[in-house]
Amino acid sequence: MAEQRLPGIDDLAAWVEERAEGQPPAARLRVAIGLGHELTELSDAMIGRFVAQARGAGLSWTEIGEAFGVSKQAAQQRYGATTDEAALLPGRWTGACSEALNRAVDEARRLGHDYVGTEHALLALVTAEPGIAADVLRNLGVTRDRMLATSCMKPPRGEQRADGGLSFMPRLKQALEHSRRIADGLDARRADTEHLLAGIVAVPDSMAVEILRRLKVSDTDVVAALAERLAVEPQRLGTARRRRRRLLASR
């Protein structure tokens, strides 16, 4: 079998130049950023697949952590949770939010993806009824059909993976953590769809944010619309971690 060569930087740059042919440098930069987001998500999905295979073959989280050069706790936190375990944290989400998260799993399977990412959660929120998140997204022109038309949502090539536990992508886990922090900051006992949407756009390099960008919607647009519906300051829909980073950067 002939050795397959991975695309190099020149190959990727050529792809960007072809996609953005005749466009100004700013447009080429946006295409390059979008490609970078897609490659990051694909990398996470690929590694997650082989982590699942390693677990199925009997490797411990300690051994998997050693392969990554991190602790077993770090490896398990990043790649361990699956939708068949307690990933949805019952009792911490409203019924509508839990239903949206479960629907995200269904959307991933329907698309033939063997992971659940922020893009699937966003797709589920678009059709969540009733819900502030769905209203905000529709008012911003984000629809299911428009999302599915982006290249980010295309089914993978080759054979679809059989049904089974789908891993939550690291950025979706981050979004869920942000959602809980935002809900807590608003004194909400349980996170609802609006908190989930705010949590998703709080992860700037997520595939969901990239899809929104392709639909000409920024994370700032989403936060502003949510803040207006909730009658709160937009800053309250951010995260303490991101604010702390800005503070540290200013010192």
Per-residue pLDDT, 81:
52
pTM: 0.67
Q: How far apart are CA 213 and CA 207, in angstroms?
A: 10
Stated length of the chain: 251
Tell me which architecture the domain covering 81-251 has in CATH: Orthogonal Bundle (1.10)
Per-residue pLDDT, 144:
92
Q: Are 82 and 165 in contact (CB under 8 A)?
A: yes
pLDDT digits (tens, 9 = 90+) for 89-132: 556 788 888 889 889 988 998 888 888 899 999 999 998 777 89
Phi, psi of 82 (to 5 degrees): -125, 165
Confidence of residue 251 (pLDDT cuts 50, 70, 90): very low
Per-residue pLDDT, 217:
95
Q: Are 154 and 62 in contact (CB under 8 A)?
A: no
Phi, psi of 186 (to 5 degrees): -100, 10
Distance of CA 80 to the CA centre of its chain: 16
Per-residue pLDDT, 4:
67
DSSP string for residues in 184-200: HHTT-SSB-HHHHHHHH
Per-residue pLDDT, 112:
87
Q: What is the mean pLDDT of residues 155-173?
A: 67
Indicate the helix (H) or strand (E) that contains 167: strand 167-168
Give the DSSP letter of residue 121. Answer: H
Q: How far apart are CA 236 and CA 233, in angstroms?
A: 6
pLDDT digits (tens, 9 = 90+) for 14-31: 888 888 888 888 888 888
Q: Are 70 and 62 in contact (CB under 8 A)?
A: no
pLDDT digits (tens, 9 = 90+) for 195-231: 999 999 999 889 999 999 999 999 999 999 999 999 9
